[in-house]
Amino acid sequence: MFTRAALCLSALAGLAASTAIHGRPASENTRSFKPATPVSICLAEGTKLTPELQAKLRAVNQAIGAYLGVDPEADPNDPFADRYNLNSRWTGSQGAPRVITWSFVPDTVSITGAPGISEPTSNSSLFATMDAGVARATWVAQFQSCFDRWEALTGIDFQRITSGGNDWDDGASWTSSGSAARGDMRIGMHPIDGGSGILAYCYFPQNGNMVLDKNDSGSFLSASSTYRFLRNTVAHEMGHGIGLNHVCSSNSSQLMEPFLSTSFDGPRHDDVRGVQRHYGDINEPDNDAASAVSSGAIAPSATRTLGTIPGVAIPTSSTLSIDADGEIDYHSFSTSQILLATFTLTPVGALYDSSTQNEDGSCNSGNNINSLGTANLAFDIRNSADALVTTVSSAAVGVAETISGVLLSPPGTQLVKVYEVDAPTASQMYTLTITTAAAPTVTASDTLPNYVSLSWTNIPNNTGYTVKRNTVNSEAGAATVGTPGTNSFMDTTAPDNATLFYFVYATQFGSSKLVGSDSGFAKCSGDLNNDGQVNDADFVIFVTAYNMLLCSDPSMPSGCPADLNRDTFVDDSDFSIFVGAYDNLICP
């Protein structure tokens, strides 16, 4: 199939000329070789775009236009117009994750000159050159870290291929396609254009082969900032190898700008958004409950944020995104007890210039995009059976959606479904934060005469409570004894001297859920000192309360236990009840 290459220039490069094209789709492994096609050219800083050079660049771009079947000067589908700066991806649908293999070629492989560069054909010297400067394990680790970094940020699963117990692949010809013995993306090194200038180039999918300039090995072997010169060169070229074009930005720093910079480490915001658009985020595929990625158990009084960039920070970025219209992300976590939780879905992005290069190699500017408002996000809380609990979708585009006090009951698997409510054409990054409170509690009294007093944690967004009672510790068979509107209840029908089990439910978002349970005990009427008898000692306590009269009196004992008929007074009615209990003496 036809492929094309992209180049990266020296650390001094500040202005670059680039051409890039959209790839023709082709099925995987339809050819056993990778023929040469047009290239993307980058120029070092200070290169003057003379009429002669512009004519050369225009000729290259016209060749690409002919390949695409368009006229770059007149066609409304001009491939060099401002656009989201993507090239073709490896086979698969937009946003779908993919395994991409990679390998080093042995030094016996002959690398032919790239179209448009036409450097002399020569054998790769990657191992001989790098081994001469640093231990092999050290430089191989730098390459591996680049693949690991892109994998940690996107839906690509990079897998390295080696052959015959060696650090390189099977040594098939440079144009051979990927197989079990060699990578889809193969890496080699040979002389390109002398020191500086072109540092490396890489073909776009469905090829991905990368060549580093042997003449720049001194820079690649620099250990400064943990070999950042090498790593940023490789990571940039990998960007082309997985389908990114160059981006021109006048007000932000991106890895895929047409010049190498070591002022930052690895992919930046726009780079990650682009690859997530191609291959999805780190959790793909996660479009339904069955494929939801679990973040594990969450404890009470804890905070968890999903989407945080691992390792080196990337400002205003996330490992999570909605990459297209109709895209859905399912997240799951588990609880071991009933909890209250707050959920916040925060769109992540910034306003920045994301422009392309012109046909003559100069950079466009002023194509400011607001990646914070690419999509209007919403989310659902759903139970373990994927039934809707509630939808959160009231905030404007670019503003966080949040809901507090969600009762996660029963314990177990909990689901959050994130989606968009408009029609985005680019990836919208986001983070999802889950914050739990202390577990809700239910408290039932066991020291009050002839009734049980209950109170419990207030449940936000409730439309009422239900209190059930049983003589055994089981919800099954429990009978409703009250439906209070607040988070307290007095069970005046509780039988004396019996341990009772109470279950409190809150109706939230139209569904009744268990808040918690506790056992309670109602003492016999008149036993005010809890000794199992109603005698003179209780009479003294009763008279003291009788003389106060009002249960609201500050001196009245807590709970006003002498108010035996629960009318907020200790009066003659209570005395009649007390006398009956006094005559019985022994509590039943």
Q: How do residues 7-24 score in pLDDT, each as one tens digit?
A: 555 433 322 222 232 232
- The fraction of the chain above a pLDDT of 90, given in percent, is 66
Place of tokens 């650090």: 167
pLDDT tens figures, 415-440 = 999 999 999 999 999 999 999 999 99
Closest by Cα among 369, 391, 370, 375 to 423? 375
pLDDT tens figures, 98-129 = 999 999 999 999 999 887 777 899 999 999 99
User: Distance between CA atoms of 479 and 493, rounded to whole angstroms?
Assistant: 12
pLDDT of residue 49: 53
| pLDDT of 266 strictly over 60 | yes
User: Distance between CA atoms of 479 and 340, rounded to whole angstroms?
Assistant: 26
Place of tokens 């070629």: 105
pLDDT of residue 357: 72
Strands (E), 10-160: 39-40, 98-104, 110-111, 122-123, 156-160
Mean pLDDT of the chain: 86
Hey, CA dihedral for 237, 242, 247, 252, is it positive or negative?
negative
pLDDT of residue 264: 95
Closest by Cα among 342, 343, 515 to 439? 515
Secondary structure of residue 172 in the 3-state scheme: coil
Long-range CB contact pairs, 557-565, < 8 A, 24+: 559/445, 559/447, 559/448, 559/453, 561/447, 561/448, 561/449, 561/528, 562/528, 564/449, 564/450, 564/525, 564/526
Query: What domains are there in the chain, each with its CATH number?
Result: 5-25+37-278 (3.40.390.10), 283-436 (2.60.120.380), 442-523 (2.60.40.10), 536-584 (no CATH)
Closest by Cα among 155, 409, 438 to 299? 438
CB atoms within 10 A of CB 236: 32
Of 569 and 52, which is predicted with more confidence? 569
Whether the bond between 285 and the residue before it is cis, its omega within 30 degrees of 0, is yes
pLDDT of residue 450: 80
pLDDT tens figures, 373-398 = 999 999 999 999 999 999 999 999 99
User: What confidence category does residue 43 fall into, taking pLDDT thresholds of 50, 70 and 90?
Assistant: very low
282 contacts 154 by C-beta, under 8 angstroms = yes
Q: How far is CA 354 from CA 78, 270, 367, 370, 395, in A?
A: 18, 8, 6, 10, 27
pLDDT of residue 58: 54
Whether the bond between 410 and the residue before it is cis, its omega within 30 degrees of 0, is yes
pLDDT of residue 448: 82
User: Distance between CA atoms of 315 and 416, rounded to whole angstroms?
Assistant: 25
pLDDT tens figures, 285-319 = 999 999 999 999 999 999 999 999 999 999 999 99
pTM for the model = 0.84
Closest by Cα among 325, 327, 377 to 349? 377
| pLDDT of 71 strictly over 90 | no
| pLDDT of 570 strictly over 80 | yes
User: Distance between CA atoms of 82 and 80, rounded to whole angstroms?
Assistant: 7
Closest by Cα among 199, 200, 169 to 184? 169
pLDDT tens figures, 507-520 = 999 999 999 999 99
Partners of 65 in the beta sheet? none
CB atoms within 10 A of CB 27: 9
Closest by Cα among 186, 161, 165, 168 to 127? 168
